[in-house]
Amino acid sequence: MTATDDLVARVAAKARATTRTLPAPARAEEATAAEEALGFPLPPLLAALYREVANGGYGPDYQLLPLVGPGRTATGEYRSERSASAAGNTPYWPAGVLPILDWGCGMYAAVDCLDEAAAVLLFEPNAMTDDGAVAWFVDAGSLAAWLETWLGGTAWYSEDADEHEDVPEPTPWPSAATRIAG
């Protein structure tokens, strides 16, 4: 068993233990169609979560968005945010950054699908003025690290985060301006 297989198995176990009804996993052809619609491949770990655990509906607080299906999906939110960003006076959404979880109040957890480590970014638009880059923060250097903080209850958003030493806080994403302009 690889480290990724082990992580996916632990995520699946927590998802089953904390979610009443998990959606079925996305079928391989659905994931492929989503990648085609997005214009980029999903990082292997993210693809495995959608194909092997469930099509969203589990995870931190507000739970992962489905990749495909009716209603709000990660694919639909990505296209919507990219369109709104391109149409507005202040571009703010970079290509290849897939929103996977809606924190509410316009905030998203998003995976940088163009980054080999699949960094998890926090989009916090509420203080944004004329610079879309100020809304982006690094939540975790990789999707694997982000999942580990959820599994261990040591993420900044965890209810008892103040009880743990050295809980990492999101930091400004240094590549935001370049990626938004690109």
Q: What is the fold, at CATH topology level, of the domain defined by 3-181?
A: SMI1/KNR4-like (3.40.1580)
The residue extents of the domains of the chain are: 3-181
- The more confident residue out of 169 and 71 is 71
Query: In angstroms, rounded to a whole number, what is the distance separating the alpha carbons of residues 113 and 47?
Result: 11
Query: In angstroms, rounded to a whole number, what is the distance separating the alpha carbons of residues 55 and 57?
Result: 7
Query: In angstroms, rounded to a whole number, what is the distance separating the alpha carbons of residues 124 and 38?
Result: 22
Amino acid 22 reads L
pLDDT band at residue 160, thresholds of 50, 70 and 90? Answer: low
pTM here is 0.94
SS3 (DSSP) at 45: helix
Bridge-partner residues for 111, per DSSP?
A: 98, 120
Instruction: Give the per-residue pLDDT at 167.
Output: 63
- Non-local (6+) Cβ contacts of 9 within 8 A are 1
Query: In angstroms, rounded to a whole number, what is the distance separating the alpha carbons of residues 146 and 130?
Result: 29
Query: In angstroms, rounded to a whole number, what is the distance separating the alpha carbons of residues 120 and 170?
Result: 10
SS3 (DSSP) at 171: strand
pLDDT band at residue 112, thresholds of 50, 70 and 90? Answer: very high
Query: In angstroms, rounded to a whole number, what is the distance separating the alpha carbons of residues 101 and 64?
Result: 5
pLDDT for residue 125 is more than 80: yes
- pLDDT tens across 82-96, in order? 999 999 999 999 999
Strand 120-123 vs strand 171-172: parallel, antiparallel, or unpaired?
unpaired
Q: Which of 75-79, 103-107, 151-155, 156-160 comes out lowest in average pLDDT?
A: 156-160
